[in-house]
């Protein structure tokens, strides 16, 4: 009998710990924003093809802002950034007006307007206004000027561009506001500049200074909230002291890779030949494991995958069929 009681106590403690951890993830009055990202090669055919490539690539490497890791990128690549929203059980969310900033030393905006965004269409919180919101390059000067935080200097403003994202709760799902949201909202491309310098660092993030509050009424970032779930979407409260927007992990960090990583020279013997191609094939089949540096050198086509396509390119280079 004592053993049974002990087992029950252990089970009870485990459930308690799970409950605490679940609560710790997102407080009931909190809306938390995070990002994920995948890095692919930009197509020479343009941004419409880039979007198709992203949607059709099923085995992309996905980086999460919650990991806090620095992502290596190279000129000629595109970073597909996904904004994720998770709200607590008492955060009744309405319309969203968000601005995602990127450093202009290594990144540039897409030149497309609506066509470059990939909106969620099935979650509680969907992009029903798919024609609203635009990349930095499509925004008018007046809108750009008022979006930067008031306390930013001219040099800070020059160092950042941003994307606007405007969304509403999905009317196909509900006619009232929603809580306990856990959805990817939108995905958009940010391009690595062709002249980005090796070693330069940058980021994609949501500045805390942009959030609307009583202390910061000029802030443009807003996720409206309501007193209870019974409120209709026609009502609007820009912000509330009782609710919290958590941006602590809404940041992706990047560094531009250097030329010291010679593509194709997987075994670092200063030669590119069949030995390197063999290593790549062995890695793709699980025969050998590559180090982080070797993986960087093996991914010669820069598609964030290491497979037979990379091995073939290495062999073609070694035999003079291709020259770069």
Instruction: Give per-residue pLDDT as tens, 248-275.
Output: 999 999 999 875 446 788 887 768 889 9
Q: In the prediction, which pLDDT does 172 show? A: 65
- Rounded CA gap, 75 and 198, in Å? 9
- 308-318 and 274-284 helices cross at what angle (nearest 10)? 180
- Do both 58 and 174 map to the same domain? yes
Residue 221 counted as domain residue: yes
Compute and round to an integer the Cα radius of gyration of the chain: 23
Domain that holds residue 288: 274-318
Residue ending a domain, choose from 211, 227, 256? 256
Low-confidence ranges of the chain (pLDDT < 50): 4-5, 7-24, 128-133, 260-261
Residue 5 counted as domain residue: no
Residue 22 counted as domain residue: no
- CA-based nearest residue to 315, from 276, 270, 267: 276
- Do both 244 and 306 map to the same domain? no
Residue 314 counted as domain residue: yes
- This model's pTM is above 0.95: no
Q: In the prediction, which pLDDT does 41 show? A: 82
Q: In the prediction, which pLDDT does 111 show? A: 63
Residue 139 counted as domain residue: yes
Q: In 57-199, which ranges are continuous DSSP H helix? A: 141-147, 154-158
* Cβ within 8 Å of residue 143, ≥6 positions away: 164
Residue 9 counted as domain residue: no
- Do both 68 and 209 map to the same domain? yes
- Do both 146 and 289 map to the same domain? no
DSSP string, 2-16: HHHHHHHHHHHHHHH
Longest alpha-carbon distance in the chain: 77
- Do both 286 and 141 map to the same domain? no
- Do both 32 and 82 map to the same domain? yes
Q: In the prediction, which pLDDT does 9 show? A: 45
Q: In the prediction, which pLDDT does 190 show? A: 92
Q: In the prediction, which pLDDT does 128 show? A: 43
- Do both 180 and 311 map to the same domain? no
- Do both 34 and 155 map to the same domain? yes
Residue 70 counted as domain residue: yes
Query: Exposure pattern of 239-277 as b/e (b: 16+ CB <10 Å)?
Result: bbeebbbbbebbbbbbebbeeebebbbbbeeeebbeebb
Residue 115 counted as domain residue: yes
- Domain with residue 38: its CATH number is 2.60.40.680
- Do both 171 and 217 map to the same domain? yes
Domain count for the chain? 2
- Do both 79 and 185 map to the same domain? yes
Give, for 22, the enclosing helix (H) or strand (E).
helix 2-25
- Rounded CA gap, 170 and 183, in Å? 12
- Rounded CA gap, 246 and 23, in Å? 14
Q: In the prediction, which pLDDT does 171 show? A: 62
Query: Exposure pattern of 47-77 as b/e (b: 16+ CB <10 Å)?
Result: beebbebbeeeeebeebebeeeeebebbbeb
- Do both 192 and 309 map to the same domain? no
Structure tokens at 233: 């979407």
Burial status of residue 172 (CB atoms within 10 A of its CB: 0-12, 13-18, 19 or more):
exposed
- Do both 116 and 155 map to the same domain? yes
- Rounded CA gap, 104 and 289, in Å? 36
């Amino acid at each position: 009998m004592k053993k049974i009681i002990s087992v029950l106590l252990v089970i009870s403690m485990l459930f308690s710990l799970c409950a605490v951890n679940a609560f710790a993830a997102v407080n009931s009055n909190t809306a938390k924003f995070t990002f994920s990202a995948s890095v692919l090669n930009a197509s020479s055919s343009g941004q419409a093809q880039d979007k198709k490539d992203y949607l059709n690539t099923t085995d992309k490497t996905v980086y999460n802002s919650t990991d806090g890791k620095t992502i290596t990128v190279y000129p000629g690549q595109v970073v597909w950034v996904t904004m994720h929203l998770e709200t607590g059980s008492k955060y009744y969310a309405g319309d969203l007006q968000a601005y995602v900033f990127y450093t202009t030393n290594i990144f540039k905006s897409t030149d497309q307007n609506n066509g470059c965004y990939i909106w969620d269409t099935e979650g509680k919180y969907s992009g029903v206004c798919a024609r609203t919101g635009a990349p930095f390059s499509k925004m008018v000067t007046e809108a750009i000027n008022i979006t930067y935080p008031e306390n930013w200097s001219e040099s800070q403003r020059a160092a950042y561009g941003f994307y606007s994202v405007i969304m509403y709760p999905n009317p196909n799902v509900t006619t009232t506001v929603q809580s306990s949201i856990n959805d990817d909202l939108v995905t958009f491309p940010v391009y690595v500049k062709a002249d980005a310098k090796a070693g330069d660092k940058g980021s994609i993030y949501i500045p805390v200074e942009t959030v609307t509050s009583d202390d910061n009424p000029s802030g443009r970032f807003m996720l409206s909230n309501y007193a209870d779930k019974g409120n209709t979407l026609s009502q609007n409260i820009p912000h509330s002291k009782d609710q919290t927007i958590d941006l602590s992990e809404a940041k992706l960090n990047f560094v531009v890779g250097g030329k010291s990583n010679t593509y194709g020279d997987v075994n670092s013997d200063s030669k590119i030949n069949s030995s390197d191609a063999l290593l790549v094939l062995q890695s793709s089949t699980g025969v050998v494991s590559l180090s982080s540096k070797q993986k960087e050198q093996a991914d010669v086509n820069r598609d964030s995958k290491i497979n037979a396509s990379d091995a073939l390119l290495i062999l073609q280079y070694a035999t003079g069929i291709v020259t770069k």
